[in-house]
Amino acid sequence: MLNNRGYLSEKTIKKVHDAMESLNYQPNAVARQLYKKETKLVGLIFPTVDNPFFGQLVAELEKRLFDAGFKVLIGNSMNDPEKEETYLKELISNQVDGLIVGAQNKDISEYHTSNLPVVAIDRVMNEDIPVIASDNYMGGKLATELLINSGAKHIISTHGPINLKTPANRRVEAYADVMASYNLVPHTYIVDFSWDFEKKRQAIEAMFSKYPEMDGIFATNDMDAALVWQTATKLGYNIPDDLKIVGYDGSNITRVLLPELTTIVQPVELMAERAVTTLISRIKGDDTPLEQIIPVKVWRGESV
């Protein structure tokens, strides 16, 4: 009756339903998984949902996967390779149908040896895993040109880690190219994404001491931009008269809590939609593009 096979009378169907209800019967999901060779589970591994961008991205992914009939298991890797590997092994042992990852550590053997369908968001895992990314180069170009056209000449870009192979590195590549085209000297200052807030705050305070002449900052994520703004205010800078700031990400929370920040907006909803449709295609065995670049736009606040 549960599998709708063969003829059953309405009377028999009702008896079975009544018995299921009285016994609180639940179908054996494991048995169904073994029979169908699918779990309808998808694993998500991201650095941390504590970051507004990743928090919104995970929420959008979960919503679209649920609508497509999947449930999700989420792992916060916290940029820790051992933790990420532990999550990855656990997800594979739970026989998830696929993975969507935005974590940092590509040199984990399971990413290379597993036959599991995987889609990466803004990360290069290996040559076989498709990547969904915003137009990072255009975002860096727009940010730098905004600062220059508003009068800034001594512009610093915060970025990190520099040894991570990721499309996000194109942001600082564009920054350097635009600075050179205006005969300005680029300076990239390392503020590692994996550092805690206190370590970042100390690094940003040191940046103000190292570059007292700076009049513009392109922070390659909004959390760093917010910390730069806080530090600048504490040091007596007036934004944007003394210092102009452009961030990158433009999550919903950032635009609500800090609408004054001019930032480059990544289209989170579209990135999530592309990631889910690409993963489902991979699960089905269909060919997919190895890289999909999504356009960005500018959120005009009051920091430039």
The position carrying tokens 């699918």 is 38
Give the pLDDT confidence score for residue 198 in this predicted structure.
92
Beta pairing partners, 131: 120, 291
Give the pairing of strands 291-294 and 216-219: unpaired
Radius of gyration of the chain (CA): 24
What residue spans define the domains of the chain?
A: 1-36, 37-134+270-294, 136-267
261 pLDDT higher than 90: yes
Tokens of 299: 């959120």
Give the distance, in angstroms, between the CA of residue 193 and the centroid of all CA atoms in the same chain: 12
Q: Tens digits of per-residue pLDDT, 285-294?
A: 999 999 999 9
Q: What DSSP line would sit under 230-248, residue for residue? A: HHHHHTTPPTTTT-EEEEE
CA separation for the pair 195, 35 (Å, rounded) = 45
> CB–CB of 182/210 below 8 Å?
no
> CB–CB of 130/287 below 8 Å?
no
Per cent of the chain over pLDDT 90 is 64
CA separation for the pair 222, 235 (Å, rounded) = 20
80 pLDDT higher than 70: no
Is 136-267 in the same CATH topology as 37-134+270-294? Answer: yes
CA separation for the pair 164, 117 (Å, rounded) = 22
3-state secondary structure of 272: helix
Instruction: Please state, rounded to an integer, the average pLDDT across all residues of the chain.
Output: 88
3-state secondary structure of 44: strand
Amino acid, single-letter form, for residue 124 = V
CA separation for the pair 59, 261 (Å, rounded) = 23
CA separation for the pair 215, 19 (Å, rounded) = 74
> CB–CB of 125/118 below 8 Å?
yes
Give the pLDDT confidence score for residue 4 in this predicted structure.
72
Per-residue confidence band for 266, with pLDDT thresholds at 50, 70 and 90: very high
User: Dihedral, CA atoms, 48, 52, 56, 58, nearest 10 degrees?
Assistant: 0
Q: Look up the CATH number of domain 37-134+270-294.
A: 3.40.50.2300
Burial zone of 46 (CB within 10 Å; 0-12 exposed, 13-18 middle, 19+ buried): buried
Q: Tens digits of per-residue pLDDT, 214-239?
A: 999 999 999 999 999 999 999 999 99
Beta pairing partners, 248: 264
CA separation for the pair 51, 196 (Å, rounded) = 11
CA separation for the pair 92, 194 (Å, rounded) = 25
More confident site: 34 or 245: 245
CATH class of the domain defined by 136-267: alpha beta
